[in-house]
Structure 1
């Protein structure tokens, strides 16, 4: 099984908290200051991004099919 990260771009304010808490550097801020999945294959589905996002913009599906 593979994890899948969903980002609600309309909710993201680009605070970077999710990027800072990701232990595998899966997320990054793009040129517009919004979060993006930069290295999805490295995701370990720890959920830190989802847990720390103050705007509920990130969701981690830990059981996504590969």
Structure 2
């Protein structure tokens, strides 16, 4: 299976409550909480598109878009 390639992270900052679950589950430390305690993508180049942040976010505030998503539309 081909490795997924990141297009972008979509973060709904209004929905994010700053719980840090996504930050904790990210295996490559791509995400961080900013000064407002909201998630930000600090190192997108390190993202392996595992989508653990998207799957674990209790507020559905993160979506990881990949090149594969484009083909499925």
Return the TM-score normalized by structure 2.
0.83
Q: How many residue pairs end up in the alignment?
A: 65
The answer to which structure has the higher helix fraction is 2
Gaps of 5+ in 2: none
Return the TM-score normalized by structure 1.
0.91
Over the residues paired in the alignment, what is the CA RMSD in angstroms? 1.6
Q: Which has the larger radius of gyration?
A: 2
Q: Which residue is 1:15 aligned to? A: 19
The answer to which structure has the higher strand fraction is 1
Q: Which residue is 2:43 aligned to? A: 39
What stretches of structure 1 move > 2 A for 4+ residues in a row?
none
